[in-house]
Every structure is written in C-alpha cells, then in structure tokens.
Amino acid sequence: MNFDLTAEHQMLQDSLRRFLKYSCNSETRNEALSSETGVTSDLWHAMAEMGVIGAFFTEEQGGFGGTGADIALIFEELGRANIMSPFLDGALLSGRVLAAAGELDRVADLINGDLQLALAHGEPTSRYDLNYVRTTSVNGILNGRKAVVVNALASDVLIVSARISGEVSDENGISLYFVEKDAAGLTIQDYALIAGGHAAEVTLDGVEGSLIGEEGKGFALLKDAYAIATVAQCAETLGEMTAATELTQEYLVTRQQFGRPIATFQALAHRMSDMLIEMEQARSAVIRAAGYFESDERTRDINIHAAKNLMGRAGRLIAEESIQMHGGIAMTQEYELAHIAKRITMADHRFGDTDYHLEKFMALTQP
Amino acid sequence: MDLNYSKDDLAFRDEVRAFLATKLTRELSEKVRLGGDLTKDDMEGWHAILNAQGWLAPNWPKEYGGAEWNAVHRHIFDDECASAHAPRVVPFGLSMLAPVLQKFGNQLQKDHWLPRILSGEDWWCQGYSEPDAGSDLASLKTKAVREGDHYIVNGQKTWTTLGQHANMIFCLVRTDSTVKQQAGISFLLIDMNTPGIEVRPIILLDGSAEVNEVWFTDVEVPVENLVGEENSGWTYAKYLLTHERTNIAGVGFSTAGLAAVKRIAKAEMSGGKPLIQNPLFAARVAQVEIDLMAMSTTNLRIVSQAAAGGAPGVEASMLKVKGTIIRQEINDLARRVVGPYAMPFISEAVEGSNEPLPDPHDAGPVAAQYFNNRKISIFGGSNEIQRGIIAKVKMGG
Ligand SMILES: Cc1cc2nc3c(=O)[nH]c(=O)nc-3n(C[C@H](O)[C@H](O)[C@H](O)COP(=O)(O)OP(=O)(O)OC[C@H]3O[C@@H](n4cnc5c(N)ncnc54)[C@H](O)[C@@H]3O)c2cc1C
C-alpha cells in the first residue's frame, strides 16, 4: 500500500495550486458572481490550455487521465481555491456522458475549452432519484420540465434525458438527447445560486432533440457519470473544508478577546481539534472513493456512498463550527469564509444528500 | 400540577387568534412566511396595530402602558403570532432599553422616552459591540468626554442591527480609562441625526442588509441623555442581559418552522414515496419535535418562576443555548427537505419579477434563512459565553 502521489500527480497538484493561487482571488470571484452567467470565460480557457479538462477523460476518449484519482486531485484544488467555475457540470458530468456514448468529437471540443455543456436530467419531483424521469420523448420530440439545471445559460448545448418507454421510475427506457439552445419550444428560466454559479428551470414544449448513444439505454451512462461527479464533488468539498479549517485555525490564534488569543479558551481549542480529526476522516473517505473508482461497481458504489454521507456530516460540522468560532465576522459577505461555508453546505444538495447516500449504502451493505 | 390551559388561558388564546385573523393582512403574513425583507413601514405598521390594541409591550408594567401579562399568556401570544406569521416585534426599544429606563432612568427620561417607544416616534438601535469588543464587551473603547453640559463621543460601534432605520441609539461608552474596565463605562442615549455620526451598511452572507457600522466623530450628546450614574453603565448593561427577556428560546419560531418542514415533507417525493415516510428523514423530524416539546415546557417553567419572583440569570442562558440549537436544527431540516431546490438564490430580484419562483414547494429562501440564522448562536452573548455563565454560576470560579 502506498498513499503518496505519483510524480505526475505531484506535478499537476503543484502547478494547479500555483496557477489558481495567482489567478483567482476574491476580486475574480466577485466578478464571476456578479456576471450574467456566473462564469468567467478567461479561467475556463486558461484551465483548458493547462490540460485540466483533458485530465477528465481517458486516452481512448481523447484525454490523458480520467481515473478517480486524477479527478479527485483536480477538484480538491478547485475547492481549495474556492473557484466558482462550472467545471463539474459544464465539463465533467456532461462530458463523461458524451464520452461513454462515443460522442468523441464533442469531447475533443470540450478538452480544447471550446465547448460548455449542461446536463438537464433532474426534475421538479425527482429529488435525488436518478431513475425518475417524467419528461417524454416521442420520435425525438421532447416534453417536460427539468429542475435546477446547473450552467444551463452558459452552456452551448444541452444534454436532456427523456423517457421513451416504461414506468416513471424504470431504469430502462431513458434516452439522452442534444437540444440546441435556440430550439423552438425550449424555455430557460435562469437564476443565480446561493453558493455561486447559475442554474435554470428548463421547460421543453415539443422540442426537437437529437439522440445520443443507444435508444432507451441512457440510465447506465447517467449512473456512471453521476458516480464520477460525486467523487469530484466530494473532493471539491474536501478542498473547501481544508480552506475553512485553515482560516479558522489562523483566526483563533490571531483574534484577541479578554486579553488573550481566543484559541487559548479550551471550549474552542477542543472543537478546533475535533475539526482537524474530522478533516482526516474526510480525506480518507475521498481517497477511498477515488481509489476504488476503477474497482467492480459494487465496491465503487459502496465507497462513493460512504464518502458522500461522511462529507455531508463532516462538511456541516466544519462549516457551522468555522462560522461559530469566528463570531460575527464570518457572517459577512465580504469575508472569504462566508462563501466557502455556503459552498460546503450546498454541496449536500448535489448528487444526493447525506441521507440519500446513507440509504444507498445500507442497501448495498445490509442485505 | 396542571399542564392544561385554564379557561381564562383558552379565552385569551381565542382573543389573540381573532385579533390576528382580522388585523394581520395576508400580504404581510405571506411576506413573513416567505422570508421577504420587511420594510421599515411594514414593521412600524405592525407595531402601530399592536399598540392600538395595548399589546405592544407584553412585559411592561401597566403603569407605563404595558400589558403586564403572565408567563402563560405571553407564551400563548408568541406562539400564536409565530404560527400566524406575524412580523417579529423589533426588540431594541421595547424589550432592551425600556426595562433599563424603567429601573434606572430618572422621571424626566421615563416620561419622555417610554411613550415614544410605544408610539413608534423613536426607532432605537443597540450600540454595544465594537470591532475589538465582541464577547469581551467590557473592553469597549468608544469614548465620551464631558465638556460642560455635553459629552463628546468618538469611536466606532459595529453589528448595529437595523441601525439604518433608527433615529436613536443607546450606547455603552467609556467615560473613565483609569479604572478597572467595567468601572469606567456609561450608558448614553444618542440622537442618530447629530452631526458626526455615519452609518455604513454591512452585507451579510445571505445578501441581507440588516446590520451596520456606526461611526462617531466629535458627536455632542447632552448630559441629560446619560442614564443613571456616570461609570455605572456596566451594571445597567448586565441588568439588561440577565433581565428576563421575552421569547429568548424562540419556541414560537421553532413551532412554525417545524410545521412548515412537515407540510413540505408530505408533498416532497423521494424514492416514489412522500419524504415524511422516509424513516431517516422522519426520524430527524421526530428528534427535533421531541426536543421542542420539552423546550416549550422548560420555557414555561422558567418564565413562570421568574414571574413569581425567582431570579432568572442562569436559566435565561440555558434557554438561549438550547433554544438556538433547536431553531438552527429546524433551519437545517428546512433546507434538507426541499432537496435540490435549496440551491437557488431567492433574492429580491426574483421576488420582484413576474416570473414564478423556481421552487415548487412554496418554501421561501430556506437556505438563506439557514445561513442567516447562524447569527442567533453568536449575538446577544454567544452560546460559548452563555455556557461559561452557566458553569460559573453552578460551579463557582
Ligand atoms: C447578525 C448580528 C447582529 C448583531 N446585532 C447587534 C446589535 O444590534 N448591537 C450590538 O451591540 N451587537 C450586535 N451584534 C454583535 C454580537 O453581539 C457579537 O457578534 C457577539 O457578542 C460576539 O462578538 P464577536 O463577533 O466579536 O466574536 P468574538 O467575541 O471575537 O468571538 C469569537 C468566538 O470566540 C468565542 N469566545 C469568545 N470569548 C470566549 C470565552 N471566554 N470562552 C469561550 N469562547 C469564547 C465566541 O463565542 C466566538 O465563538 C450582532 C452580531 C451579529 C452577527
């Protein structure tokens, strides 16, 4: 067993960390936050040039990476730098669907930084269930509504799931389609998200789609893409939790009340210690989810469900305790921690929450 | 012992319900329910309605125009107001300054300021905290130097809630720096329109603009605005903190919040069933409900004891700690229950537009409220400071 990064991963981590440190600060973040789409295109292109998007895909898919470990490493750095660009939704989640479906031309465009995508799958009543699809497709004509579609406005084209057959919860009978942004019958109601970025309600009223992959076989592609996206989300949250923990640690030794640093109050010192303990657990959970990603599906899924559940719990602790132990200053929009805490907390609303993954874990481990 | 409401209590409850049904407009209650930003007019309007009924100051003595209700009636009133989504009464003048004036103010001050609090002529804000004096309030530096019949005030207050609406601020200021910190503090009433005062907004993490910095540069304050004795302000401030405060446990807010969570959990589907039937989620809801049931009784017990002449010091700290934990737990459930729909930033821009809100649950900005309510365990003496008080009282030291 060996927990060291490979030489290549070490290089990637170093260069990414250096690049993000210099190119991203609260100014660029606020710029992205207040822009119309929530995205700054400069960063997207710069990252593509560095090969970051290419590392989301395997060599057969036209990339140069694509393993759980590659993806965890990159997203942890994005989280640590508190980057708000939609690499997760706009490139990884939707890109992995396309790569698995053999749409390699589009994947090449993604890798070059010339394309941004959005995956419109969840619906107003599907909550976190991947198999619930009410949107219908009859001969490629789509009708239905998609909920909280992250990056819809900034994307160049949408990937939409729709049912061609079966019951609303059947895994079989789900197809995937490209839908052009200017397609007749398509409505995109865009809004900002509380933790940064944008999403939209997407309404399909007799919209023409062009099929991706095989008819009715979309579920397997979605499940795999959501699996890697969940690993990425956990890693990103780990990076954000690291940043929150570092800020809090620094603040406790600097802030003086009653004539001494507040870190000297045991009521706070022990809780800081608990945060540090949870950080180690969180890191291990992410390492497992990433490291077992290439194993058999059951092992992969057990470790992903475990990680997302643990990150939900540890993330809540880190976000809430960081704010509490800072006091009022952490409640202000101006202070970096506020953004980080919001991102950590809202990650629990993506790709299944703490309870959802606990249930899935129980189903796999307690037959 | 009798845990049931008496006939008189039930009659009172009906009276409150009837009052709310006729006087609280649907427009206002919907705004409160959906967490909309209340305007100054909204808040002043509601105060005026309560005042006309004689219900604006539940715990003031009758001689000053209060309702002087007993603990049970106050509990009923808070509960009914929260369930009906009535606006929260702004506490600074009514429940913070007024008890201090009633106990330590001179006759002129009582006669002048108390009626104006009821009538709404004055909007008070609280000027205690400073950037370097939060939990360690006694280290405050804002200075007041007496010159003839004025004090000259210099310094900075911060976190001043709703200071943007206020025309008056009650402040703790340093009048003697040569003695022990606590012994050199005075309690001053300052007109916000005096030259030299500047109010700067602080935007909070949920985008709300409810707190401010207040800067003082050579601000002249007439000496008759000193409350009590010079350099005795700390005693008054402590009285204010330990003085039994209405609704410190927030039972009404929690009850209303939990009802909303249950309503949504019945409609929200997960795995083909209503979420409320999901054992994991149902257990979370039940756990909080059990805590809240006990808290409601703890609150009544402590408030009744205090009304009967017991000293509510450490008990107020207990109510604050547990009450805020329960409220924050309910805020956490409220964001969980809506699933991915917790993510949209439901801002005024969205509310102001004609587009329907993205959230099909009609839940309001639950995530914003979750983040905003992190404040309740920080302000008014943080939960750490409250625990310190409990430990000190119970174990000495
Ligand atoms: C939204 C909001 C509204 C507010 N409104 C007002 C207002 O209207 N008027 C007003 O005057 N003030 C107001 N406050 C200020 C509030 O009272 C202070 O934030 C509070 O007293 C804590 O001070 P601080 O923020 O400086 O944190 P600090 O005192 O710096 O505390 C930082 C952390 O250290 C902990 N800590 C400090 N001392 C100890 C100790 N001895 N033992 C253990 N832990 C300790 C604290 O609990 C906290 O977790 C408001 C604050 C907020 C956030």
DSSP string covering A294-332, please? TS-HHHHHHHHHHHHHHHHHHHHHHHHHHHHHH-GGGGB
List of residues 6+ apart from A82 with CB closer than 8 A: A24, A29, A240, A243, A336, A339, A340, A343
B132 contact A CB<8A: yes
pLDDT tens-digit map of B87-139: 999 999 999 999 999 999 999 999 999 999 999 999 999 999 999 999 999 99
Q: Does domain A219-365 have CATH number 1.20.140.10?
A: yes
Say if ligand 1 is within 6 A of residue B378 CB: yes
Say if ligand 1 is within 6 A of residue A330 CB: no
Q: Where in chain A is the domain with CATH 2.40.110.10?
A: 118-216
* CATH number listed for the domain at residues B248-395: 1.20.140.10
User: What CA–CA distance (Å, rounded) separates B158 from B212?
Assistant: 6
B357 contact A CB<8A: no
Residue contact B339–A349, C-beta within 8 A: yes
B10 contact A CB<8A: no
CA–centroid distance, B380 to ligand 1, in Å, is 7
pLDDT tens-digit map of A217-260: 999 999 999 999 999 999 999 999 999 999 999 999 999 999 99
Average pLDDT over residues B366-385: 95
Q: How many residues does chain A have?
A: 367
* CATH number listed for the domain at residues B124-231: 2.40.110.10
Residue contact B342–A349, C-beta within 8 A: yes
- B328 contacts in A (CB within 8 Å)? 320
A118-216: CATH superfamily:
Butyryl-CoA Dehydrogenase, subunit A, domain 2 (2.40.110.10)
Average pLDDT over residues A107-115: 97
User: What CA–CA distance (Å, rounded) separates A17 from A11?
Assistant: 10
3-state SS of B291-333 is HHHHHHHHHHHHHHHHHCCCCCCHHHHHHHHHHHHHHHHHHHH
Return the best residue to mutate from B97, B135, B170, B320 for the ligand 1 pocket (most ligand atoms within 8 A of CB).
Answer: B135
Fold topology of A7-116:
Butyryl-Coa Dehydrogenase, subunit A; domain 1 (1.10.540)
Token pair for residue B76? 């009923």
Q: Where in chain B is the domain with CATH 2.40.110.10?
A: 124-231
How high is the pLDDT of residue B285?
Answer: 98
B287 contact A CB<8A: no
Q: Where in chain A is the domain with CATH 1.10.540.10?
A: 7-116
DSSP A171: S
User: What CA–CA distance (Å, rounded) separates A349 from A237?
Assistant: 12
User: What CA–CA distance (Å, rounded) separates A353 from B387?
Assistant: 32
Say if ligand 1 is within 6 A of residue A328 CB: yes
Indicate the pLDDT class of residue B35, thresholds 50, 70 and 90. confident
Most confident of A42-51, B36-45, B87-96, B325-334: B325-334
Token pair for residue B113? 């300021």
CA–centroid distance, A274 to ligand 1, in Å, is 22
Average pLDDT over residues A9-30: 86
pLDDT tens-digit map of B128-182: 999 999 999 999 999 999 999 999 999 999 999 999 999 999 999 999 999 999 9
- Closest chain B residue by Cα to residue A346: B343
Average pLDDT over residues A51-73: 95
How high is the pLDDT of residue B242?
Answer: 67
Q: Where in chain A is the domain with CATH 1.20.140.10?
A: 219-365
Residue contact B270–A129, C-beta within 8 A: yes
Chain-wide mean pLDDT for chain A? Answer: 95
Q: Which residue, A145, A282, A258, is CA-closest to B133?
A: A258
pTM of the model: 0.97
Q: What residues of B are labeled active site?
A: 244
Residue B34, SS3 per DSSP: coil
Indicate the pLDDT class of residue B311, thresholds 50, 70 and 90. low
How high is the pLDDT of residue B349?
Answer: 42
Chain-wide mean pLDDT for chain B? Answer: 92
Residue B310 has pLDDT above 60, yes or no: no
The answer to whether B292 and B250 are in contact (CB under 8 A) is no
Say if ligand 1 is within 6 A of residue B214 CB: no
- A345 contacts in B (CB within 8 Å)? 335, 367, 370-371
Say if ligand 1 is within 6 A of residue A257 CB: yes
Residue contact A327–B378, C-beta within 8 A: yes
The answer to whether B83 and B259 are in contact (CB under 8 A) is yes
Residue A36 has pLDDT above 80, yes or no: no
* Cα end-to-end distance, chain B, whole Å: 36
User: What CA–CA distance (Å, rounded) separates A189 from A149?
Assistant: 10
CA–centroid distance, B366 to ligand 1, in Å, is 24
How high is the pLDDT of residue A32?
Answer: 76
pLDDT tens-digit map of B210-222: 999 999 999 999 9
How high is the pLDDT of residue B350?
Answer: 45
B30 contact A CB<8A: no
Residue contact A334–B387, C-beta within 8 A: no
Average pLDDT over residues A40-59: 90
B7-89: CATH superfamily:
Acyl-CoA dehydrogenase/oxidase, N-terminal domain (1.10.540.10)
Q: How many residues does chain B have?
A: 397
- A146 contacts in B (CB within 8 Å)? none
Say if ligand 1 is within 6 A of residue B129 CB: yes
List of residues 6+ apart from A284 with CB closer than 8 A: none
Average pLDDT over residues B176-193: 98
